[in-house]
Amino acid sequence: MQISGFNNFKYCHHHEFHKPHHTHAKTGGHVEVKKSGTREIKVVRRVLDVNEKMARQNRELFKEKGVFVLNVMSSPGSGKTTLLEKTLDEIMPEIKCAVIVGDICTTNDADRLVKTGAPVVQINTDEFGGDCHLAAHVIEKSAGSLDLDAVDLLIVENIGNLVCPAEFDIGEDARVVVLSVTEGEDKPVKYPLMFRECDAAILNKTDLLPYLDYDRELAVKYIHQVHPDIPVFELSAKTKEGIGPWIDWIKGMMSRKKP
Amino acid sequence: MRAGVLGEFILHEMGIAMQIIEIATDSIPDDMENVIVERVNLKVGKLAAVVPDSLRFCFDIIAKDTPLKGAKLVIKEIDVVARCNDCHTEWTITEPVFSCKKCKSGSIEILSGRELDIDSIEIAE
């Protein structure tokens, strides 16, 4: 589906993708009669195994196409979209980029990102009451509408949420969590899984520090308490101050993937 | 917007509950008809992004029109156990500190606590 007025802009509605088609062999499994009089059938399966399988397929496809995939996650309002706008500004056209952006509603983020010149796919999840994360099959369908041969770096802007996206592998190469100085310093210890699962953290909106009682050392300490040795980039996406090391990190990660 | 935040959590568990119902329904052997599933036994690691109460709540709502109607979702929570890659100490993580309890090394491996597995289903005789 294409929305007129945006050359690069592909709009996907989540319901088109909602259920991946899959079949499972019914083996019956191991059966045991319990004391309670019930018959126990062993299942032993990961609840999210369908997602995990799809994520592995995505990873293989991205490897084959030589695309590096970066999954960017954060709570709502941390400045992900501004960060991506400025990041694309810095690394394009040297690196060919595309963006998949997930939101519960609206195409506002895609409207902003398409101005960078990168192909943008917007996913809205509101069809199902607003899914709180992007799952692997949604990424698979969205990536299918992009010319992956013409992409080196695919950035996925996940739904703003520090809980659920951490649980869903989408086939990415690296995960980044964005935290901003207008949030509590203790976010990392409140959402440890997210910070454990990420390969880098960004502390955004540092231009606001003079106006806030924010203890950035404490925030960094909490990040490292949950994930020791993780790189933390303190920057202001708005002013681009401190953005250099973040860009270098992306380039470094990309060169590590190249065969 | 508190309701929105609550909504997000519930929805997340809703999707997981749907997967559980799908896998559990799939696990009923083909040759059994009109079975009553009494329990679905689930293992959930304490580090998994799942709130057991929310998951049970969602499961009960959506199980109604499925072969799992009336089944009880039994959730066994699994502790977060880590092992240090340097001094090989093993310990249970009870607060969000992920460095070695003994030598403070940051190089650790999570041995358990990330589970989100269906262990078994129990069918009435």
Give the closest-approach CA distance of A152 to chain B in angstroms.
31
CATH number for the segment(s) A9-14+48-257: 3.40.50.300
Q: What are phi and psi of A208, to 5 degrees?
A: -90, -5
Which residue of chain B is at minimal alpha-carbon distance from A186?
B96
Best A21, A23, A24, A43 member to test B by mutation, with max B CBs in 10 Å, is: A43
- Structure confidence at residue A38 (pLDDT): 86
Which pLDDT score is estimated for A127? 57
Q: What is the dihedral of CA A243, A245, A247, A252, to 10 degrees?
A: -170
Confidence of residue A1 (pLDDT cuts 50, 70, 90): very low
Residue B63 Cα, gap to closest chain A Cα (Å): 16
Q: Please tell me which of the candidates B15, B105, B117 has its beta carbon nearest to residue A44.
A: B117
Distance from CA of A203 to the nearest CA of B (A): 19
pLDDT of residue B4: 34
**Which residues in chain B have Cβ-Cβ distances shorter than 8 Å to A175?**
none
Q: Bridge-partner residues for A122, per DSSP? A: A11, A101
Comparison of pLDDT for A249 and B6, the residue scoring more: A249
Hey, are the CB atoms on B122 and A36 less than 8 Å from each other? yes
Kindly list the residues from chain B whose CB atom is less than 8 angstroms away from the CB atom of residue A29: 27, 29
Mean pLDDT for the stretch of residues A22-30: 49
Question: A43, B97: Cβ pair inside 8 Å?
Answer: no
| Interchain contact B17–A (C-beta under 8 A) | no
Please write the tens of the pLDDT for every residue from A131-153: 778 889 889 999 999 999 999 99
Contact A26 B99 (CB under 8 A): no
Q: Where are the domains positioned within chain A? A: 9-14+48-257
Give A126's pLDDT tier (boundaries 50, 70, 90): low
A175 close to A80: Cβ distance less than 8 angstroms: no
Residues of B with CB below 8 A from A219's CB? Answer: none
Residue B115 banded pLDDT, cuts 50, 70, 90: very high
Backbone angles phi, psi at A179, to 5 degrees: -120, 145
Give the model's pLDDT for residue A190.
93
3-state helix, strand, coil in chain B (%, to 5): 30, 30, 40
Question: Smallest Cβ distance to A129: which of B11, B105, B110?
Answer: B11
Query: Is A256's pLDDT higher than 50?
Result: yes
Check residue B2 and give its pLDDT.
27
Average pLDDT rounded to a whole number, residues A89-116: 91
Question: How far off is chain B from A178, nearest CA to CA, in Å?
Answer: 18
pLDDT of residue A130: 60
Contact A47 B16 (CB under 8 A): yes
Burial status of residue A63 (CB atoms within 10 A of its CB: 0-12, 13-18, 19 or more): middle
**Other CB atoms within 10 Å distance of the CB of residue A206:** 21
Cβ atoms A85, A116 nearer than 8 A: yes
Whether the per-residue pLDDT at A51 is higher than 80: the answer is yes
C-alpha–C-alpha distance, residues A112 and A117, integer Å: 10
Alpha helices in chain A, H assignment, sequence order: 49-65, 80-91, 108-113, 136-144, 187-190, 192-197, 216-226, 243-257
Buried b (16+ CB within 10 A) or exposed e, B4-20: eeebbbbbbbbbbbbbb
Interacting residues of A200 by C-beta distance below 8 A, sequence separation 6+ = A174, A175, A176, A177, A230, A231, A232, A233, A246, A249
Structure token digits, residue B108: 């650790």
With cut-offs at 50, 70 and 90, classify the pLDDT of residue B63: very high
**Per-residue pLDDT tens digits for A198-227:** 999 999 999 999 999 999 999 999 999 999
Highest mean pLDDT among A3-17, A68-82, A126-140, B18-32: A68-82
Residue B124 has pLDDT above 60, yes or no: yes
Asked if B115 and B45 touch (Cβ cutoff 8 Å), the reply is yes
DSSP A30: -
Whether residue A188 has a cis bond before it, omega within 30° of 0: no
Residue A16: predicted pLDDT:
38
Q: What is the pLDDT of residue A43?
A: 94
Nearest to B117 among A40, A46, A128 (CB): A46
- Mean per-residue pLDDT of chain B: 88
Report the range of poorest mean pLDDT among A79-93, A156-170, B7-21.
B7-21
Please state the separation of Cα B58 from the chain's center in Å.
Answer: 13
- Domain spans of chain B, in order of start: 2-123
Strand partners, B95: none
| Residue B97 φ then ψ, to 5° | -125, 115
Which residues in chain A have their CB less than 8 angstroms from residue B123's CB?
38-41
Does residue B1 register a pLDDT over 70? no
Query: Of A239, A112, A223, A130, which Cα lies nearest the Cα of A178?
Result: A223
Region B100-124: mean pLDDT is 95
DSSP assigned state of B25: H
Indicate the pLDDT class of residue B15, thresholds 50, 70 and 90.
confident
**Total residue length of chain A:** 259
The answer to whether B29 faces chain A, any CB pair under 8 Å, is yes
| pLDDT level of residue A175 (50, 70, 90 thresholds) | very high
Contact A26 B29 (CB under 8 A): yes
Mean pLDDT of all residues belonging to chain A: 87
Burial label, A117 (beta-carbon count in 10 A; 0-12, 13-18, 19+): middle
Residues A151-169, mean pLDDT to the nearest whole number: 92
Cβ pair A125, A100 in contact under 8 A: no
Just give the CATH number of B2-123: 3.30.2320.80
pLDDT at A5: 28
* Neighbouring-strand partners of residue A154: A69, A98
Q: What angle do helix axes A136-144 and A49-65 make, rounded to 10 degrees?
A: 30
Q: What is the pLDDT of residue A29?
A: 57
pLDDT band at B10 (very low <50, low <70, confident <90, very high): very low
